[in-house]
Structure formats: structure tokens, C-alpha cells
Amino acid sequence: MIEATRPRLAILSYSNGKFDARTRRVAQSAGAAGFDVVAYARWEPGLPLEETIDGLRIVRAPIVVRMAIPGLRRSGRREIARLRAAAAAAVAATAAPAGAPASAVSVAGANARRRSTTLPTGGRTRPLSVRLRELRDDPVGYGRHVATRIVRLPYRALRGVVGPFVLFPLRPMAWAAALEDVTEPADLWHGMWAGSLPALERLRRRHGGRTVYDSRDVYLHARVFDRMRPAMRSRFVRLEQRWARAADLVVTVNDAYADILAPLLGIGRPLVVRNCPDPYDPPGTRPDRIRELVGIPPETAVVLYQGGLMTERGVEQGMEAILEVPGAHYVVMGYGSQRAAFIELAGQSRFRGRVSVIDAVPPEELLAWTASADVMLMAIQPTTLNHRFTTPQKLWEAIATGIPVVASDLPGMAEVVREVGCGTLCDPTNPASIAAAIRELLALSADARAEMRTRTLAAAHDRYNWRVQADVLLAGYAGLVGERGTP
């Protein structure tokens, strides 16, 4: 009797893989269901090219934009080779035996880094880490630099299209090309975010298998894309349409997104798999990690923002609002392109002692930190269609831990908050409205807070947890690979 082969699942996480909780949950559930799982992510300076986190093997490939441009791929591959050599040298230096000569290790590492982290720029050299930050923090500015070097057109003629074009599809296409050198065949490819779409197509063509596009937002109605003129944005939408229609299954994170994406992409209604955390049973004694880390007195209420540190998430509005909430401290926990700016802002004299910015924590520890707060704040701004209908992961994390929320009165979040009865809504653009909502929750009696907590935890255990959502996803997988993992 021939033993059945375990189906292989490859998750393409268009992130660095460190804090992508959904990828971790998908991997754990698929592994328990009989899949062999590997995740592919984006390499960034300071990260290993390959590591295992919580049992999940993560393989990273760097993004070198030249890989997406015909005629420049050869130099792009040379640059990738240099980056890989530098990353390997850094790992070797870290793991060097205690008795090894320090000078030999440091000089070799320095030489490798010097060769591999600079690029020619018109007679000057700029560290690659600087250029990566430019691309992440100012894609339009970086796009101008790339465009004027490659196509030699004036920036004014390219304003408004070059930056978005670098974000999508140029960088995703470059990542897809780099992945070809490190991926192994799989029965199922699960791509996270629109940035994974070129890789889904390319890797299926190379290795076979079936593909799942996990559209975790309405990407081309988010941030810079939502502010483009419709005629220009439609060109980007057509690319996403073509790639999404080629996928065997499209998944998204809430019903509103599913209703938007179906006509936008010209596909059947996506499968809804909410981005809820694993079932969580709060300990008898509530954790107090935030107060212990920041040094907040027991009588001071902790108002927490957790997640991406970037513009339009309401972080700044929360800082202004906390000044109108006596006896409360605003804690901003996360990572992202604006982290340094928020640290600088929190250092201003008027916020001193009222606002703290702390590091992000690993996904497996996050709920214990969430449970340490008194209120979760998510004042996401109504700046894009994507934001208006979002149900951010932090909402489900607050529900999982029974922490009351102050959320934007926007369709995506408001519907859940009203249904569960887990908090109150605010005008996210108005710090006074945010402050009033926080004060309302903090003023609740002990009995009212206990009742809200009981109601919230019941919703988490009943339907808003990953165990329930994983069953939906695995049923979708089964329709693609069958019981034996053969497409």
C-alpha cells in the first residue's frame, strides 16, 4: 500500500513575516489539518534569509526593483546575490565561535556589507538601507528617482503615477522574480495581500498547483491609490483584476469587502475568513504588562492603540484626545514607517507623562498585552473606501480579551461594535469626540463593565475566533486540493 503524500502549502506573505499573525494562524491550522507548510516573505536588512518561528519555516527573498524591469534583471540578480552574501555573512558573524578572532569576523562582515549594501547612484554611493527606507516611507519620491534614472522623463510628467506604480506592481513583480530562486513546488499557494498576486501567477506557472488570493483589504482603494483620479486608478485595477481572476479561490476578511471586491474585480463573491485571533481564555488575574513596562500607576487607566504605525490610523488624534481624559495614559504599541515621528511627537512637553510609544510584540504574546489595557482605541480615519469598511485585526483582539473599544463610527467597525455591544463609537476626525467616548467607557460602573466583558467574551467564544474561521478556510482548501492533496 502506497502511503498518501501530505499536501504542501506555501504561504506568500507580502511582509517580512515577523508580525503577520494571519499567516501564522493559517500555517498552524493547515499543519494540524495535514499540510506541510512553508511561508515565503520579504527580506529586509537585519533579518535572516531563513528562520523557523513557532514551528513555521519562513524563507525570505529581497526586493530589488530592477528584477521587474526587462533589461535590468541581470544586474538585479547580481544585487540579490550580494544581498544574500551579506545576510549570510551577518549570520556567520553572529554565530561565530566564542574563541574566533574578533577582528577576522568583523572585517569579513564589514567587507561583505560594504560590497553588498551600496549601489552606484550617478558617481555617489548611498547605503541600501537608506534607499529601502526611502522606498517604504516616500514611494513617490523614490519613484521619481527610479523613473528619472530609467526612462529619463521629467518628474512633473510622472507625478501621481510613478510612486503608486513602484508600490504596485513594480515591487511585487520584483519580489515574484526573486522568489523563483528559493521556492519549492507546492500543491497550494496562498498569497497575502495584492502584493502577492504576481508571485501567485509566476510560481504556479513554474511549479504547478492551485492558488488562493487573500485580499485582506481593498488595496487599490487604500492610501495613495484611493486618491488617484479614477481614470488613472482603473489602469492599476485592471492589473489586479487580471491576476485575481486567475486565482482558483479569492478570500477576504469581512462581508463588506466581499461585496466590494466581487464587482470591482469581476469575480464571484470571495470567501469570507475573518482575521480573528485564536480562542483566548483570559487568566483569573488580569495581566498588567503595559503598566509594568511603562511605569504607569495602578489607578491610571491604560488606553491602547496597537498595530501599524502610519498615517491615517488615528494615532495623532488619539494623542490629542488623551489630553482631555483625566487619569488616563495613551500607549501606542506597534511598528511602521511613522514610528520615529510618533516617538518624536510623544516627546513634546504637552504629551509627556500622558503618551508612550512601545515596541511591537510577537503575535503569540499579543493578547496578553491587549488584555493589560482598559480601553482599546481604533480611531481609523475615513480617508479611503478601504478604511471606511475595514474591520481591523485589533478589533477582534479586543473582543477576544473582553477589552472595551472606542472605534470609528464607520460601516466596517460600527456594525460589529453595535452587534456585540463591546464599546462605543466616535467621530475619528475629532479629538473631542474620541475623548468623550473614552470618558464614557471609563465612567462605567464595575457591574456595567463586567456585563460588557461577559457579553464580549461570549461573542468571541461563539463565532469571532480563529477556530471557527479556520474551518471555513480549510473547507475552501479541500475544494482545491482534495483529501490527498492532488490538484
Q: Is the pLDDT of residue 145 over 60?
A: no
Looking up cell 502584493 gives 195
pLDDT for 120 beyond 90 = no
Whether 119 shows a pLDDT value over 60: the answer reads no
Average pLDDT score over residue span 121-129: 42
Which of 192, 190, 197 is closest to 171 using CA atoms?
197
CA 257 to CA 433: how far, in whole Å?
27
Would you say residue 124 has pLDDT above 50? Answer: no
Query: Which domains are delineated in the chain?
Result: 1-276+465-487 (3.40.50.2000), 289-464 (3.40.50.2000)
Closest CA to 64 of 170, 162, 184: 170
More confident residue, 114 or 45: 45
pLDDT band at 144 (very low <50, low <70, confident <90, very high): very low
Q: Which phi and psi angles does 120 have, rounded to 5°?
A: -70, 135
Determine the pLDDT at residue 374: 98
- pLDDT confidence bin for 163, thresholds 50/70/90: confident
Centre a 10 Å sphere on the Cβ of residue 136 and count the other Cβ atoms it contains.
14
Q: What pLDDT does 162 receive? A: 79
Residues above pLDDT 90, as percent of the chain = 78
Give the number of other Cβ atoms within 10 Å of residue 44's Cβ. Answer: 17
Contact in structure between 455 and 420 (CB atoms under 8 Å) = yes
Lowest model confidence (mean pLDDT) among 62-66, 79-83, 232-236, 393-397: 232-236
The predicted pLDDT at position 393 comes to: 96
Place of cell 469575480: 267
Q: Can you give the pLDDT at residue 96?
A: 55
Report pLDDT for 115. Answer: 31
- Paired residues of 57 in beta bridges: 38, 52
- pLDDT at position 425: 98
Rounded CA separation 277/362 (Å): 13
- Residue range 280-304: mean pLDDT, rounded: 93
40's grid cell: 515565503
**Region 184-208 average pLDDT:** 97
pLDDT of residue 97: 57
pLDDT for the residue numbered 95: 66
148: pLDDT strictly greater than 90: no
What are the b/e assignments for 429-454, b being 16+ CB within 10 Å? eebebbbbbbbebbeeeeeebeebbe
Residue 4 has pLDDT above 70, yes or no: no
Residue type, 454: T
At 98 the pLDDT is 52
Per-residue model confidence as pLDDT tens digits over 172-184: 999 999 999 999 9
The H-or-E segment that residue 127 falls in is strand 124-127
H/E segment holding residue 460:
helix 446-462
pLDDT tens digits, one per residue of 389-438: 999 999 999 999 999 999 999 999 999 999 999 999 999 999 999 999 99
Give me the chain's average pLDDT, please: 87
- Residue 161 banded pLDDT, cuts 50, 70, 90: low
| Whole-prediction pTM | 0.85
- Residue 58, SS3? strand
Q: From CA 353, how far away is CA 397, in angstroms rounded? A: 26
